[in-house]
Structure 1
Amino acid sequence: MRRNALWLTCAVAAAMVLPATPAAAIDQVNTQKLRQAVTVSGILGHERVFQRIANQNDGTRASGTSGYKASVDYVRRTLAQAGYDVRLQKFDFNFFQELAPAQLSELSPTPTDYQTETFEYSGNGDVSGALVATTDIQVPPGAEPSSSTSGCEPGDFPAAGSEPAVALIQRGTCTFEQKAANAAAAGYDAAIIFNEGQPGRTDLPGGTLGNPQSIPVVGLSYADGAALYEQLAAGAVTVRVATSTASEVRPTWNVIADSRGGDPNKVVVVGAHLDSVLEGPGINDNGSGSATILETAVQINKLGLKPQQKLRFAFWGAEEAGLLGSTHYVDSLSDQQLSTIMANLNFDMLGSPNYVRFVYDGDGSSGTAGPQPGSGQIEQIFTNYFAGQGLASAPTDFDGRSDYGPFIEAGIPAGGLFSGAEGIKTAQEAAIYGGTAGEPYDACYHQACDSIQAPNNNLSDQALAELGDAAAHAIWTLGKTSTGFYADGSRMAASQAVSLDQFDYRGGQLVR
C-alpha cells in the first residue's frame, strides 16, 4: 500500500491548518462518554478469550476449524447478553489446509528428490507412476510469458492408461485450476505444474487451484521441470508425488448483531473479520478489530446510549480465504435492503506493534480516486478526530484487501482504520509515530507469533488506545448523526478551514 503522512511531525500537527476536505456533513457528536467506556482493558479481555480459544483448538481460529466456531459462539453469546438481536449467517466455502509438506521424487531411471510445493486446493494422496508430458510443452520457453498452452485443452493429455500416471504440465495461458481439472478428467492420478521459463517465471510456481481438486497437484521450477521433460525424450520416467491436505467444502458463519433502536432505513454496518489464518491465533489480525467493535457494542448498550441510525455489528467469516463472509452478506441482500445501508466502517488490524494511524482514503487525497460519495466524509470523521487529539494520521488506499471491498462495489460509502501489516515502516513514519524504521508494522503478520501467549505480545496497547478511541468516536458519530452525507460532495472552502491552535477538540466537538 502507498502511504503518505498528513503531518511532518506530531509536534507541529496541532498547529497545522486542516486541509480542504469534503464538507462537514456529519453532525458534531459528543462521543466522550463512549470513548471513556471503551478501554484497552476491555478490548484485551476479549483478546484473552480469543487466545484461549486458539490454545484449545490447535493454535488457530481460521474459518472451517473448531477454533473459529468457538470464536463465533463467544461473540454471539456476548452480544446477546448485551441486548442485541443476533443472528448467524451460515455459508459454505472452499476450505484448504496443508497438513504436511509435499514430496516429489524421481524413482527411475535416476532417483532424485525435488524441491516442490503443494498448490492450494490440491487433492490428498500418494501416487507413484509413469510421468507423461502434455503435448505442447515449450522447452526452451517461448519468447513471451503465457506462450505455453500446456494442459489448457483436454486434447493436450495423451491417454493415461490403466496404470497410475502423473501428468507433467507447463505453466502458461490458462489457470492452474483448468490445467489440474483437465488432468484429472483425462484419468491422471496426480499432476506436476512446472514454471514457464521466461524471466520472472523460473522458480516454484505455487498458487491456487481455485476450488478443491480430486488429485494431488504440486509445483516444480522451470529448470527441474525441463530436466524431467528432456529425460522423457530418452525413455520412461517414474515419479512419486505425495501431498497431505484437507481440501473440501466446509460451513462457516458471519455473526450479525443489530441494535434494538435506530432507524432501520439508515443502517451503519460496523465490520471486522473474526477469522485468523491457519498458521496462528490472529490476535492482531484480526482479533484487534473484532475485540474493539465487540467492546464498543457492549459499552453502547451498557451506557444506555440510543442510536438514531440502526447500528449493525458484523463479524465476518472467511476473510482470509478472500473476503468471502462480507461478500456473501452483500450478495444476500436485495436492492431494497442494500438501499438501507448508509455506510460501512471496517476495522482490520488496530494493534500492530510498530503501528501507524492509517485512515482509509475516502476523498482520494493520496492520489487514488475516492471509492464512493460519502467516503470522504467518513475519512474526515477520523482525520478530524486525530487532529483534535494532536495526533497525526496518514491515508491508506482502498486496495481491496479487506471487507470494505464488497460494500464499495455495491455503491456504499466506506471507511475505517488500519495500523499496518507486513509493510515496512519508513524513516519519516518512525519520526512521526515512533517505532522502528525499516521493520514491518507487524512482524508476526499471518504467523503463529500473532499471539499474546507468553513470552510474545503482538499488540501495542498504545495503538489499541488511540485507534480504539477513534473507532468508538466514528461509530457513535455515524450512529447518532441526523444530517448524513451531503449529496453534492462539496468541498470545504479555504476560508472554512480551521487551525487547531485556535480550537480545542473535546468530547468529539470543536470548541473555541
Structure 2
Amino acid sequence: MHSRTRIVSAGAAVAAAALLAAGLAPQATAAPSGNDTSEIALTKGFRKAVTTAGINEHLKAFEAIAAGGNRVSGTPKFDASVDYVKSKAEAAGLDVTVQPFAFPYNADVSPAVLQRISPNPATFVDGVDFSSMTYSGNGDVTAAVTPVSTGSAAAGCTAAEFAGFPAGTIALLQRGSCSFAIKAAHASAAGALGVIIYNNTTGGLSGTLGAPGITVPVVGTTTATGQGMLSPGTTARVKVERVNETRTTYNVIAETPGGDPNNVVVVGAHLDSVPRGPGINDNGSGSATILEVAETFAAQERTPTSKVRFAWWGAEEFGLLGSNHYVGSLSQAELDKIALNLNFDMIGSPNYVRFVYDGDNSAFPVGPGAAVGPAGSGAIEDAFHRYFDAVGLASSETPFSGRSDYGPFIAKGIPAGGLFTGAEGTKTAKEAEVYGGQAGQPYDKCYHLFCDAFTNVNQTGLDEMSDAVAHAVLTYSRRDFVQAPLLDPAKVMAGVAAGGEGGGLHEDHEDAS
C-alpha cells in the first residue's frame, strides 16, 4: 500500500486529461494538471458549507437515540434512527422512501463465556478478550483444544487440513485467508464441538459468519487469548447463547427531485450499529456526513445534472443485508441507470489514516481479500487521490474487499469508490510518520465496542474526510458518465511516497484478510 502525494509533471497532465476523457473523473474547467486546483475551486463553497458542527449535531442525535445502548437493526432504537434521518431528509426537500425488509436477526441473549480450564485456569472477558460471532451456533461445551495449522493465516480454509482432527474437541484457528464461515464449517464437519478463531492483528475479533447455518458455538479472540490456548493438553469451555429470529428493518432512500433519472449517483452509508455499542464512528460518522451533505445540497438549491440518491442502509452489520436487499430489488433496467456508488463507512476513526478504496486493484491485487473493481472504479479512486493531493493531504489505499455496502453494487458491475479511516487494524510506523497518531495501535480502539461514542470520533479526521465526501458528491452530481475502462495507476500518478501496508481492516462481515 502507498501513501500518494502528487508531483506536478507533464506526464501527470496527460494522465489527468485521459481521466477526463474516460468519463468518470471529475471535470475541470481549465487545462488539468497533476495538482488540478480548478476542479477543487468548483466545490470550495460547498465544502465550506458542509460543517463538522452540522455533522456533530447528527452524531449527538444518534448517541442520544442509543441512550447508553445501541442502534441495532431490528430494534426500536434503530427504528428511531430511521425516523430521524427520514424527518431530516424530508425537511430538506428530498424525495424519501423507507424500504422495509425481513432479515435473520441474531444477537447474544446472555454474555458469552470463554474459559481456559487447564493448564493455568483463566476466565476471559466478553467484549474485551473475545466475542461470540454473529450467526454462531448455540451451545455450552467443555473439551480439549486442538490447534489447526498452528500459526498459519490459511488455517482451516480447506477440509484437508482437518484430516485426523479428533472429533469431540474444540478447534483453534488463526484468522485470515478465507472467511470465518469457511473455517467454522470445516471444523464443524470434522466433528469439532466449538470453534475459537484468534486475531492476527492488534485488538479483539468481533466478526460474523455471514448467515445462519453453523450449529456449534464460534468465538473470536484477541491474539494473546487464542495463543494462550496453543499449549498441548489445553482444555477450554465455550458457551454461546444467541437469539435467532426473523425481524423487519429498513433502508432509507432520499433523492434529489432534479437530475437525470437515467443517470443516478448513489451515495451510501450504513445506519445500524453492532449490539455492543452506539456505533458513532461505525457508522454514525458516514451516516451523519452524508445527511449533512444532503441537507446542504438541498439548502443551496443545487440543480444536479445527475440524480443523486442518498441511502442509509439497514442490517449492514448482519452481512450487508440492506444494500443487498436494495440492489436485489432493482430490475436490470433500474440497475443500468446507476452510474456509480460512493460508500462511506467509518470516516472519523481516532487514530485515522485517509484511506481510499483501491478500485483499480493496483495496491491490493484481486484475491481472497480484494474484489475486482468494475470498470470506472479506478477513476473514482483517482478522483479522491487527486482531491487530497490538491488540498495538500496524503492518502493511502485500502483493499477493494467488497465487505462494505458497495459490495452488492460491484457484484452487478457498477463502478464504486469511497473512503475509510481504519477499524481494528494496527497503524504502521510509516503511516504514523505520514498521518500522525500512534504507531502500533488500532486505528479505532473502540471498534465494535461500547466506547464507540461521540468522544471516539477524531474531529480533525472527520473534517478532512467530510470535505472529500462533499467534493465527490457535488462533482459527480454535475456529470453524465460512461463506463470507463480501468486506468493504469502508473499513467495517472506522477509520484508516489511511502505510506503503510495495512489497509485498515474491517471484519464486520465474512473475513478474508
Query: TM-score surpassing 0.5?
Result: yes
CA distance in 2, matches of 1:114, 1:47: 36
Shift of 1:5: 1.0
Distance 1:182 1:480, change over 3 A: same
- Aligned equivalent of 2:27: 27
Q: Is the 8 A contact 1:213 1:247 kept in 2?
A: no
Matched, 1:359 2:367: no
Q: How many residues align?
A: 428
Indicate conservation of the 8 Å contact 2:71/2:279, yes or no.
Answer: yes
2:438 to 433, 436, 439: 436
Q: Distance in 2 between matches of 1:286 and 1:18?
A: 39
In 1, Cα distance between the equivalents of 2:432 and 2:328? 41
The offset of 1:244, in angstroms, is: 3.9
2:413 matches 1:421: no
Q: Residues 410 and 212 of structure 1: is their aligned pair in 2 closer, same or farther, counting only changes over 3 Å?
A: closer
1:80-479 alignment runs, 5 A limit: 80-102=90-112, 120-121=134-135, 145-147=161-163, 168=168, 192-193=193-194, 217=217, 244-368=241-365, 371-452=373-454, 457-479=455-477
Alignment check: 8 A CA contact 2:306 2:478 kept: yes
TM-score, normalised relative to structure 1 = 0.72
Distance (whole Å) between structure 2 residues aligned to residue 114 and residue 419 of structure 1 = 33
Deviation digits for residues 206-261 of structure 1, max 9, x if unmatched?
98676557988578989999989xxxxxxxxxxx9975432212111111111100
Question: Is the Cα contact below 8 Å between 2:135 and 2:214 reproduced in 1?
Answer: no
Q: TM-score, normalised by structure 2?
A: 0.72
In 1, Cα distance between equivalents of 2:206 and 2:7: 49
Paired letter, 1:67: K
1:502 match: none
Question: For the structure 1 residues 73 and 67, does the alpha-carbon distance in structure 2 shift closer, same or farther, using more than 3 Å as the test?
Answer: same
Q: CA deviation at 1:315?
A: 0.6
Output one character per residue of 1:474-511: Cα deviation in whole Å (capped at 9) or x when no partner.
011111114x24645566997x9889xxxxxxxxxxxx
- The residue number in structure 1 matching 2:478 is 480
- Which stretch shows the higher mean deviation, 379-388 or 272-281? 379-388
CA contact (8 A) 1:176 1:208 kept: no
Q: 1:449 to 1:174 in 2, by over 3 A?
A: closer
Percentage identity across paired residues of the two chains: 47
Deviation at 1:65, TM superposition (A): 2.0
Partner Cα distance (1:440, 1:241) in 2:
27
Mapped to 2, the partners of 1:328 and 1:278 lie a distance apart of 21
- Consecutive unaligned residues of structure 2, counting only runs of 5 or more, are 29-38, 116-120, 125-129, 149-158, 173-180, 220-225, 367-371, 496-513
1:360 is aligned with what amino acid?
Answer: Y
Quickly say closer, same or farther: Cα 1:125–1:349, change in 2 above 3 A: closer
- Structure 1 gaps of 5+ residues are 8-12, 106-111, 133-137, 152-167, 184-190, 229-239, 500-512
1:42 is aligned to 54
Q: CA deviation at 1:409?
A: 0.9
Q: Rg bigger for which structure?
A: 1
SS at match of 2:78: helix
Cα pair distance change 1:23/1:95, threshold 3 Å: same
- Report the 3-state secondary structure (helix = DSSP H, G, I; strand = E; otherwise coil) of the residue aligned with 2:101: strand
Alignment check: 8 A CA contact 1:284 1:352 kept? yes
Q: Aligned-pair distance for 1:43?
A: 0.5
Q: Deviations over 1:178-224 (max 9, x none)?
A: 998999xxxxxxx943689xxx9xxxx99867655798857898999
The residue identity in structure 1 corresponding to 2:80 is A
